[in-house]
Amino acid sequence: MTRLLIIGPPGSGKGTQAVHIARHFRIPTVSTGEIFRTNVSQETPLGLEAAKYLDDGAFVPDQLTNALVKDRLLDADLQPGFLLDGYPRTAPQVMELDNMLASRGHRLDAVVELRAPDSELEQRMLQRAKEQGRKDDTIEVFRRRLDLYHRETHEVVAVYSGRGMVVSVDGSGDPGAITTRAIAAVEKFLGVTP
């Protein structure tokens, strides 16, 4: 059983890396961003509420996010493990996740932190906007998200660093090379022999 969290600033390739890392460890990916986008496109009540925040580049409030993640973590396909992408984003969400996992006798095994320079992140975001036509990918929204990440999400990294759970990975350059570095770093951290 492997339970991982991947974290990093917007544009760091969390979604891409999450898929490859999860496939390697044979665990499902739980992406709050994808769940939010699906709900927004389907105009569900949660999606309509979440859209107000997402369109402005703000984080969806904790109570909405916590409820969504809690329900997902109860699904049978996550019993062998999972890789969380996009949650927790704040220190209070860390505590909520601790409680969710502890209630089932579980805990996180490691936190993968992707790091890359802000200038590279901005270029990636512009490329993604061009390729995918995502209207939430504008310079203004990206900069607000990056500012929120630096102000709020760094607390998450600090909490997990204090627990000795953070595996930092250079998120610059070729995506394939990043995947190789990330998998090797996690396996070394977990004491897995390749």
Which residues define the annotated binding site for ATP?
11-16, 128, 173
For residues 6 and 20, what is the distance between their CA atoms, to the nearest angstrom? Answer: 12
Q: CA-based angle 145:151:114, to the nearest 5? A: 70
**How many other C-beta atoms lie within 10 A of the C-beta of residue 52?**
12
10, 57, 51, 75: CA torsion to nearest 10: 30
Please state the residue numbers annotated as binding site for AMP: 32, 37, 58-60, 86-89, 93, 134, 145
Question: 144, 58 in Cβ contact below 8 A?
Answer: yes
Please state the residue numbers annotated as binding site: 11-16, 32, 37, 58-60, 86-89, 93, 128, 134, 145, 173
- The three-state DSSP-derived secondary structure of 69-110 is HHHHHCCHHHCCEEEEECCCCCHHHHHHHHHHHHCCCCCCCE
Secondary structure letter of residue 12 according to DSSP: S
